[in-house]
Chains A and B, each alone.
Chain A
């Protein structure tokens, strides 16, 4: 796909997304222009459909792909853009993605972002007028990491340095490259950049969330069972859910700290709130609490947009030739360097 058709495809998606944004109760054009400070127009009552056992129905395929930045960009002071400003921000972001496919660049050799839906604008994305996903603190920025968190970050950096170069061993490489877990898996569910798709299925007493990236599944029990013992630690923590009216509230603790969310510690607690606010939108907010990292809790609002299924199998590890090739390349380089050094010393 060339850049011109990329932009036009983006515009088509944008047009469709604007419609869904209005349904979603995000500030529509008129409201935003008339009262930029208003958070949202008067919420239109929406009653979500129910599953046969009476749970509010969140089922289907959803995406949290978005062009809304996680934190508010420098120089932006308001909470919502006007639709024109939002469109300009999306165009600029799509152009930055397209630059990764500039012929002759290293990025272009790695992945052609104009293909296979790697570029967000080619797929459905969750549109809203927010200037940042972070909504609390009100400045749209993650609170500063406290002294304890900074100390831990420094220790982690020192441990990484001690472990050697990034390609000395597989363990030194990024967790996502190793197909262990991707950043978008959650909790919290973060926009993965591409393949940011989820499937939700409900049965009595359970909500299942399948993340497309590395086929990650969370089965969330809704039966008010006790929190698990502290000794069991997982990459995705352990989740407990409950319904508060039409909102699914999921609390997750027992993280193993190895996929530290923005530098968080093992004491991280994530509280997610899923509310279906339209046929094609789930309002998704998450609150992050970790006194070992931040002095205050903070919250992001990252709505999910309905997307087309189905989700295909993401067998990541099974054909992870990249790891073996990168490490083999690094070892060949080591060998070459050693030989050169030997020649030089002779």
Chain B
């Protein structure tokens, strides 16, 4: 009894140590965790998930900095971040880098998030809002709180994107423990973050959702866009389950919040 308890304790310590190592390598490797099965036998990724990082400010490593709105002070400042992009600076083509820098300089005016536009992919995943995975055999739904953005991942009946769109056209498949989502058919209007990192309509995103524990996923993304980048590049991050009781996706119907910003100059003047 004692021995087995000790053994258990040793195992737990070893497991904790292993998890600690695994966490530091989260971007580099897939742990051997096997998710519980959904009723159809596939890994069960159902749940409400959220990224906890500062990638929406800048997907690359960045220091803390003042925010773009003076009045918000420290409340609107940028927290630092180690970045979620693998292997050095984003491989922009020279003219694209110029555009990124212009975007960055004018982000208050140009960032689609400021106008409550649909966030695009993969930005929707790490905006700091929760999203819910609803898994069925034919369709996997990704339902985002931000702007009510929604994606249908077609697991069967797959076709090419019928037209370009903000959230793209997603076809999915199971590869062992991973849900792999292949998305094309994007327009060129969404960004990757608030720092002006952008893409063209040639964007091709492959996302891999893999359970790494009961309450965490590894989210890995390969981004390909030959019009903007000289080579494909990758990002990865953990996603955390919202475990509080009664957690649910709430309404963030932000159109109403930006109407004065977008149309305020067209308001009838009281003097007229």
Q: Which residues of A lie under 8 Å from residue B38 when comparing CB positions?
A: 52-53, 203-204
* B231 at the binding interface (Cβ < 8 Å): no
A221 vs B159: C-alpha distance in the bound complex, in angstroms? 31
Cα-based distance from A255 to B184 in the complex (angstroms): 37
In the assembly, what is the distance between CA of A40 and CA of B36, in Å? 46
Q: Is B209 part of the binding interface, using a Cβ–Cβ cutoff of 8 Å? A: no
Instruction: Tally inter-chain residue pairs, CB-CB below 8 A.
Output: 130
Question: A234 and B251: CB pair below 8 A?
Answer: yes
Contacts of A217 in B (CB 8 A): 141, 143, 148, 150, 249
Q: Tell me the complex Cα distance, A168–B116, Å.
A: 22
Chain A interface extent, by class: 35 or more
Given the known A-B contacts A215-B148, A310-B154, A313-B166, are A203 and B135 also in contact in the complex, defined by CB atoms under 8 Å?
Answer: yes
Q: Are B117 and A318 in contact (CB under 8 A)?
A: yes
With most chain A CB atoms within 10 A of its CB, the pick from B139, B157, B262 is: B139
Q: How far is the CA of A59 from the CA of B139 in the complex (A)?
A: 10
B248 within 8 A of A: yes
Q: Which residues of the other chain, A, contact B262 by a CB distance below 8 angstroms?
A: 170, 324
Residues on A with C-beta less than 8 A from B267 are: 168-170, 327
Which residues in B have their C-beta under 8 angstroms from that of A199?
139, 152
Chain A 257-268 near chain B by CB (<8 Å), digits 1 or 0: 000000000000
A187 to chain B, nearest CB (A): 13
* A151 in the interface (beta carbon within 8 A): no
The distance in angstroms between the C-alpha atoms of A180 and B263, with both chains bound, is 14
**Interface residue stretch chosen among A108-116, A135-143, A282-290, A328-336:** A328-336
Cβ-based interface call for B213 (8 A): no
Which residues of B lie under 8 Å from residue A77 when comparing CB positions?
none
Nearest residue, chain B, Cβ from A312: B162
**Residues of chain A contacted by B152 (CB below 8 angstroms):** 199, 210, 310-311
The smallest C-beta distance from B105 to any residue of chain A, in angstroms, reads 23
* Residues of chain B in range 123-143 having any CB-CB distance to chain A below 8 Å: 132, 134-139, 141, 143
Chain B: CB-nearest residue to A171: B259
Known: A168-B268, A208-B141, A315-B165. A180 touches B253 (CB 8 A): yes
25 A–B contacts, CB within 8 A, in A order = A52-B40, A169-B266, A170-B267, A178-B256, A181-B253, A199-B139, A201-B136, A201-B141, A204-B46, A217-B141, A217-B148, A219-B132, A219-B143, A235-B251, A235-B253, A310-B152, A311-B152, A312-B163, A313-B165, A315-B117, A324-B266, A327-B266, A330-B266, A331-B268, A334-B269
Interface residues of A (CB under 8 A from B): 51-54, 59, 164-165, 167-171, 178-181, 199, 201-206, 208, 210, 214-217, 219, 221, 225-226, 228, 232, 234-236, 309-313, 315, 317-318, 323-324, 327-328, 330-331, 334-335, 338
